[in-house]
Amino acid sequence: MSQKLLTFAAWTGLCVSAYSTLSPLSDRPILLTSSNMEHLAAFAILGTLFCLAYPRRTLAVLLIVLGSAALLELLQFLTPDRHARTLDALQKIAGGAAGVFAGRAVLRFDRARFWLLRDLRHPPTP
């Protein structure tokens, strides 16, 4: 997948997450039946996208994903009909961390596959 497309998808996902977290309850999109699973899944996808978009910036990706999870939950204190909850923040952080872990695993697997295929094409000479 194109690096520019991954980057666009990651930042778009962060914007959608911010809108979903801070918008009035009547405007909030509902994708799953459980809001707990929505928090976890949304930030897992977000973590994976950022990890794949910025493969050499794992620390920055962790700061963006986990920091945005905490910050967005805190910003709910400023909205009149939303309320921040520690459990929601922890679910978002856990999902983000799992997503970054999954992204790193995909990158490692891709790198291992490249090395394996390279070795099969050029077997070592004794």
Residue range 17-69, pLDDT digits in tens: 888 888 776 666 666 566 778 888 899 999 999 999 998 899 999 999 999 99
Considering the chain, what is the average pLDDT of its residues? 83
Other Cβ atoms less than 10 A from the Cβ of 38: the count is 20
Domain membership flag for residue 79: yes
Q: What is residue 76's three-state secondary structure?
A: helix
Domain membership flag for residue 22: yes
Would you say 98 and 44 are in contact if contact means Cβ atoms under 8 Å apart?
yes
In which domain, by residue range, is 82 found?
3-121
Q: Which stretch of DSSP H or E encloses residue 70? A: helix 58-75
Domain membership flag for residue 110: yes
For 30, residues 6+ apart whose C-beta sits below 8 A from its C-beta are: 38
Does residue 101 register a pLDDT over 80? yes
Q: Rounded mean pLDDT of 88-116?
A: 85
For the whole model, what pTM was predicted?
A: 0.79
Domain membership flag for residue 126: no
Count how many domains the chain has.
1
Other Cβ atoms less than 10 A from the Cβ of 46: the count is 27
Does residue 13 register a pLDDT over 70? yes
